[in-house]
Amino acid sequence: MTLKGYKDLPEGGVITEKGNSALYKTGEWRSMRPNYYPEGCVHCLICWVFCPDSAIKVENGKMLGIDYDHCKGCGICARECPRKEKALQMVKE
């Protein structure tokens, strides 16, 4: 992302767009990422329960994967995954 220079910013750091927090991808902060291996997943949704950032995508009771725009890579999902062969494993970004 190209950052704007000071002459192109609204004065005083005022935000002039409505609802633009949606544009801010906090997942950019991540240094580790959880990789999802659906073959080992039993859809217990414990990862969804524990994720502090609502970054586990779930539809109709099924785990679909990770919302990498907002996942900050804390690793709680991988730690809590109860499978012996973890369906979520942390790797370096």
Residues that bind other proteins (CB under 8 A): 3-6, 9-16, 18
Q: Which amino acid is at 55?
A: A
The token pair at 24 is: 């801010």
Q: What is the DSSP letter of 17?
A: S
Chain centroid to Cα 63, Å, comes to 14
State the nearest-atom distance from the C-beta of 22 to other proteins, in Å: 14
CA atoms of 52 and 49, how far apart (whole Å): 8
CB of 48 to other proteins, least distance (A): 28
Q: Could you tell me the smallest distance in angstroms from the CB atom of residue 12 to other proteins?
A: 4
Q: Which is nearer to other proteins, 9 or 64 (CB)?
A: 9
Nearest-approach distance from CB 29 to other proteins, in angstroms: 10
7 vs 84, beta carbon nearer other proteins: 7
Closer residue to other proteins, CB minimum distance, 20 or 60: 20
CA angle 81, 34, 22 (to 5 degrees): 115
